[in-house]
């Protein structure tokens, strides 16, 4: 074997480009506006129904909610439980994997809350410069 990329803890270690591609794809998939907002709702209310989510996630359309939830289900982030009753009742709940992603994004929420003001000021300054 010609030393095929060892797994190390060195953050500066070169990464297998194939892995980097996959990671980029996954980031692109998961760091989506709607995915993030749905993820946050499900973090707050461990389990949620469809209509509840569509009310809680500001501005999402039913189409995008369905699509986002399907993708999240496919990626193993949520479980979809159908209760065979009428009218239909479908519950969505985070998996452990989904919860871990929520925790990973926690830093971004904190950042956003902490830096709202700075961004607002930067925008005003930028817009003033024309």
Partner DNA sequence: TCCTTATGCTCTCCAAAGGAAAGTAGGCAC
Partner DNA sequence: GTGCCTACTTTCCTTTGGAGAGCATAAGGA
Residues that bind a second copy (CB under 8 A): 19, 21-24, 26-28, 30-33, 36-37, 58, 73-76, 97, 100-101, 103-113, 115-116, 118-119, 121-123, 125-127
Instruction: Assess contact for 58 and 65: CB atoms under 8 A.
Output: no
**Residue window 57-76: x/- pattern of binding to DNA, with contact defined by CB under 7 A:** --xxxxxx-xx-x-------
Give the DSSP letter of residue 121: H
Task: For residue 4, say if its preceding peptide bond is cis, omega within 30 degrees of 0.
Answer: no
Q: Which two tokens stand for residue 76?
A: 């193993």
Residues 2 to 61 in contact with DNA, rule: CB under 7 A: 32, 49-52, 59-61
Instruction: Identify the H or E element spanning 47.
Output: strand 47-49
CB nearer to a second copy: give 50 or 105.
105
Is 81 near DNA (CB under 7 A)?
Answer: no
Angle between helices 33-44 and 96-129 (to 10 degrees): 130
CB of 47 to DNA, least distance (A): 11
Q: How far is the CB of 83 from a second copy (least distance, A)?
A: 19
């Amino acid at each position: 074997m010609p030393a095929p990329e060892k797994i190390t803890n060195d953050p500066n270690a070169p990464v297998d480009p194939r892995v980097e591609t996959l990671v980029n794809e996954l980031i692109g998939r998961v760091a989506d506006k709607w995915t993030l907002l749905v993820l946050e709702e499900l973090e707050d209310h461990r389990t949620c129904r469809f209509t509840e989510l569509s009310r809680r996630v500001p501005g999402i359309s039913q189409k995008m909610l369905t699509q986002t939830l399907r993708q999240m289900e496919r990626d193993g982030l949520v479980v979809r439980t159908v209760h065979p009753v009428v009218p239909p009742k479908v519950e969505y709940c985070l998996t452990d994997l989904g919860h871990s992603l929520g925790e990973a994004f926690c830093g971004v929420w904190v950042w956003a809350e902490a830096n709202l003001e700075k961004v607002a000021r930067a925008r005003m300054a930028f817009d003033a410069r024309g």
